[in-house]
A and B are shown apart, each in its own frame.
Chain A
Amino acid sequence: KAGVTQTPRYLIKTRGQQVTLSCSPISGHRSVSWYQQTPGQGLQFLFEYFSETQRNKGNFPGRFSGRQFSNSRSEMNVSTLELGDSALYLCASRPGSQETQYFGPGTRLLVL
């Protein structure tokens, strides 16, 4: 099976812009989670989608949003970008609710 794929791999934006990141889970996996990784804060959970519904949410402002499509692909959107949003954004998928999460290679976002 193909692994989790994320596009784009690298992105440069300026403050105030918005960005959309995409994640395609492993075939058959219905749960997709998003994480933000920064040197200072480490790996922080953003949200999880399961069967097109947000099932869980971390402590991030409303500028961070996501959605999941019927084919389980997920997108994450960040509006009004801030310098502090520069990070590696990781997507992970799993079959259901409690199984192991498998991670994609990440999208590295740089906000200037």
Chain B
Amino acid sequence: AQSVTQLDSQVPVFEEAPVELRCNYSSSVSVYLFWYVQYPNQGLQLLLKYLSGSTLVKGINGFEAEFNKSQTSFHLRKPSVHISDTAEYFCAVFFFNTGKLIFGQGTTLQVKP
């Protein structure tokens, strides 16, 4: 079965510290990979995506992610977080064989002053 796993449900971190949010998926078929962010009472905003090409992708707000095909992972990183980065982050994988976009359970990033 196709699944997306975000390994941490909550990640507390101090302001200006680096952070990594982890994402693994189950399938070996061709995929597209996405990270979305959700602020309270809002919809999902696209942070970045991997469709093809360079495995290191850069997104908005200083975030980047690296696609590792052998480990079927797509971890999100930011070298220095701000209070305003406090939100829920979702990893999503588009599986070509089913045409479905499957989301992980989400990781709540809590940035403390």
| A interface, CB within 8 angstroms of B | 4, 33, 35, 42-45, 48, 55-56, 58, 90, 92, 97-98, 100-106, 108
Contact = CB atoms under 8 A, between A and B. Distances in A.
Q: Chain A: interface secondary structure?
A: strand
Interface residues of B, number: 22
Q: Chain B: interface secondary structure?
A: strand
26 contacts: A35-B103, A42-B104, A42-B105, A42-B106, A43-B90, A43-B103, A43-B106, A45-B101, A56-B98, A56-B99, A56-B100, A58-B100, A92-B44, A98-B32, A98-B94, A98-B96, A100-B46, A100-B49, A101-B101, A103-B36, A103-B43, A103-B44, A103-B45, A105-B43, A106-B42, A106-B43
Nearest to A56: B99
Contacts of B41: 108
B12 to A, nearest CB: 19
Nearest to A43: B103
Contacts of A104: 43
A97 B103 CA distance: 17
A102 B43 CA distance: 9
Contacts of B99: 48, 55-56, 97
B108 to A, nearest CB: 11
B1 to A, nearest CB: 11
Contacts of B98: 56
Nearest to A44: B103
B34 interface: yes
B66 to A, nearest CB: 19
Top 5 A-B residue pairs of the complex, sorted by shortest distance between their CB atoms: A43-B103, A103-B44, A103-B43, A105-B43, A42-B105
A45 B100 contact: yes
